[in-house]
Amino acid sequence: MARFSRSDFTLESFRRQLANVDALPQLCVLGLVSGVITGTVMVAFRLLLEAGAVLYMPEGEPEAFEGLSPWLRALLPIVAVTLIGLLLYRQRSAARKLGVSHVIERLTYHQGRFPLRNWLNQWWVGVVSVLGGLSAGREGPAIHLGAAASSGLGLKLRLPNNSLRVLVACGTAAGISASFNTPIAGVIFAMEVVMMEYTLMSFMPVILASTMGALVAQVMYGNAPAFRIPEVALGSLMNLPWIVVIGLVIGLMAGLFIHISRSQRLQTLPLWLRLGVVGVGTGVLAWWFPEIQGIGYDSVAAALNNQLAINVLLALMVAKLLITAITVAGGVPIGIIGPVLVAGAATGALGGMLGGWLWPEKAADPGIYAMLGMAAMMGAVLQAPLAALMALLELTHTPTIMLPGMLVVVVACLTSRQLTGCEGFFISSVRYGLHPLQQPLMQALSRVSVPAVMERQLVRTERMITLDQARRLLETNPMWLVIERSSEDKPVLGLKAAELARWLLEHDEALDGEAPPEDELIDLLEIPGQRLEMAPIGLQATLSEAFLKLQDSALGALYVVHGYRPKQQRISGIITRGAIERYYHYTDARQTDARETDS
């Protein structure tokens, strides 16, 4: 029976285990805690929306814009963009980054570390955007708040950066799950859109986080599906060609949406003009069509049940999609998934009505097409077909819709990518699609932290030492000598201990039994051997960070700094290019063997 000591259950031991690539039990524990934290945060955000709606919305319903007077609902977007302009745009540009794009950027370029100010801004901006009548969803704030809260747990515990990446995915999945009661879609979205990888080490913690997030939300709001729809079926297979046509149309609309939202011409306009266009444009549209305001889930439910007039469906299809894109281009950080679902459902419902007019005997119910349009638009805009299909299943609780759903989603995704040249909305927003985590090497190196491969056998020494000091240095059989310099502007150097041992043997042989001079000193910079110039790297860093840092041609190695106070830091190990290459080749060989075994 294995014996465990108290040291096996310390936080320091937990950190060491997380640094390795096979820390699945530890990551699962983090997933559970992350799900509870994120679920609680999302319940708090939804309660905040409901509390704000009590002030002026009919019956305290956050989406009841139809019950407001035309003047009030037209004025709300102008007030919302004014508040965002005055309170958000007075801050520095880094603090204005919010939502899913910000999450992907922090994961990609900052190892999943989130600034506190951005997180606090997301709370009030998310509430103002939705309650202010802008065409905005709550999933953007949900993902940002959940991912940052989970990452904050890792930072508080000083966990290695490779585990922060998993925590960000856990927070993302739990945020989606708790916000929309879609735990499977939350998992797929986190892996497909944010992490961009499917690995066992990430999947299981994310599943646990999404489960816990959904459970916390269900305790508060119950487990009913987001939309209640009647029992409908596709019927004749003659509907499939028409579904393909609708997928083509939605793919083109998705491409148009992305092109407008990323329009450089709009983004270069003065801030006051951009915000003015968003506020006034939304207000004018809301005067006649209040359905375009807010998230629009009530409109989706009505479209699924054939309760919307054709003019309202046209407004949701065209006006809501365009005003959402213009809002993004105008610099207002909003969630786009909710509005995209609404526009897709309206497009599908209109397509279903047209099909019923052309083929009344064979055409399926327009509600079926509304479901398909919802998934197709989400998949095409995000370039995330699996997430869209899972959202379709969980939002409607209609398994029979999956076969035509797969067809329409693939057609829409291909059309958006191939005919309009658009990548996924969130990828195109992060440095124009140059996403380092799409590179297999960087993905592999980001899964493990430097303690897993660093060489720990080292001793620190000054440049000038005596013979006795040299022999004492070698008593512990170190692999490396870390030569500290006289001033901080001079680089720390690394010398293999074997070089010093060889020099001592040659020196003793040269003396031929004679006693060495008492004041003889050894200059470690002069003895024969290769000295590597080194730079520091934190103990929490991933191998991908070390790999990028070692691209500097002047550096031969990195010394790993341990400790959180400058005067108490110590060197825990050394990591070289060779150590990183050995790890990668070993991992790659295992993956190759596994593929060969499977085949």
Read off the pLDDT of residues 567-580 as tens digits, 9 standing for 90 and up: 566 888 888 888 88
Q: Per-residue pLDDT averaged across 522-546, rounded?
A: 85
Query: How far, in whole angstroms, is CA 193 from its chain's centroid?
Result: 7
Asked which of 412, 438, 464 is the last residue of a domain, the reply is 438
Q: What is the pLDDT of residue 543?
A: 85
Read off the pLDDT of residues 141-163 as tens digits, 9 standing for 90 and up: 999 999 999 999 998 988 888 88
Q: What is the pLDDT of residue 324?
A: 96
Distance CA 483, CA 522 (A): 12
In this model, does residue 372 exceed pLDDT 90? yes
Distance CA 496, CA 482 (A): 9
DSSP codes of every residue in 254-289: HHHHHHHHT-HHHHTS-HHHHHHHHHHHHHHHHHH-
Do 269 and 150 lie in a common domain?
Answer: yes
CATH number, position 473: 3.10.580.10
In this model, does residue 443 exceed pLDDT 80? no
Q: What range does the domain containing 574 cover?
A: 449-598
Distance CA 469, CA 89 (A): 61
Domain count across the chain: 2
Tell me phi and psi for residue 198, to 5 degrees: -125, 100
Q: What is the pLDDT of residue 45?
A: 94
Asked which of 415, 438, 461 is the last residue of a domain, the reply is 438
Do 205 and 325 lie in a common domain?
Answer: yes
Residue 18 lies in a domain: no
Do 570 and 590 lie in a common domain?
Answer: yes
Residue 11 lies in a domain: no
Read off the pLDDT of residues 189-230 as tens digits, 9 standing for 90 and up: 998 888 877 776 778 999 999 999 999 999 988 877 666 676
Task: Give the number of other CB atoms < 10 A from CB of residue 11.
Answer: 10
Q: Which tokens is 328 given?
A: 């993004």
Q: Tokens 């019950």: give the residue.
A: 67
Q: What is the pLDDT of residue 232?
A: 64
In this model, does residue 434 exceed pLDDT 70? no
In this model, does residue 4 exceed pLDDT 60? no
Q: Which residue has the higher pLDDT, 187 or 593?
A: 187
Do 381 and 459 lie in a common domain?
Answer: no
Q: What is the SS3 assignment for 4?
A: coil
Do 243 and 286 lie in a common domain?
Answer: yes
Do 286 and 380 lie in a common domain?
Answer: yes
Q: Which tokens is 476 given?
A: 């512990």
Do 432 and 454 lie in a common domain?
Answer: no
User: Which among 421, 418, 410, 81 is positioned nearest to 258, based on CA atoms?
Assistant: 421
Do 361 and 397 lie in a common domain?
Answer: yes
Asked which of 388, 414, 438 is the last residue of a domain, the reply is 438
Degrees to nearest 5, angle at CA 88 with 87 and 92: 120
Do 432 and 460 lie in a common domain?
Answer: no
In this predicted structure, which of 91-100, 274-283, 515-524 has the lowest mean pLDDT?
515-524
Read off the pLDDT of residues 479-497 as tens digits, 9 standing for 90 and up: 888 888 777 778 888 888 8
Distance CA 154, CA 164 (A): 6
Whether residue 135 contacts residue 339, with contact meaning beta carbons closer than 8 Å, is answered with yes
Establish how many alpha carbons lie within 13 A of residue 362's alpha carbon, considering only the half-sphere containing its beta carbon. Answer: 11
Residue 123 lies in a domain: yes
Q: How sure is the predictor about 586, in pLDDT bands with cuts at 50, 70 and 90?
A: low
Average pLDDT, the chain: 85
Q: How sure is the predictor about 341, in pLDDT bands with cuts at 50, 70 and 90?
A: very high
Do 316 and 417 lie in a common domain?
Answer: yes
Do 590 and 569 lie in a common domain?
Answer: yes
Q: What is the SS3 assignment for 461?
A: strand
Distance CA 239, CA 359 (A): 9
Q: Is 364 exposed, middle or buried (0-12, 13-18, 19+ CB in 10 A)?
A: buried
- Distance separating the N- and C-terminal Cα atoms of the chain: 37
Q: What is the pLDDT of residue 590?
A: 43
Do 107 and 246 lie in a common domain?
Answer: yes
Distance CA 53, CA 477 (A): 69
Strands (E), 118-191: none
Read off the pLDDT of residues 244-283 as tens digits, 9 standing for 90 and up: 999 999 999 999 999 999 888 888 889 999 999 999 999 9
Q: What is the pLDDT of residue 527?
A: 86
Whether residue 483 contacts residue 506, with contact meaning beta carbons closer than 8 Å, is answered with no
Residue 387 lies in a domain: yes
Query: Which residues, other chains included, contact 524 with Cβ-Cβ below 8 Å and sequence gap of 6+?
Result: 461, 463, 464, 465, 481, 483, 495, 500
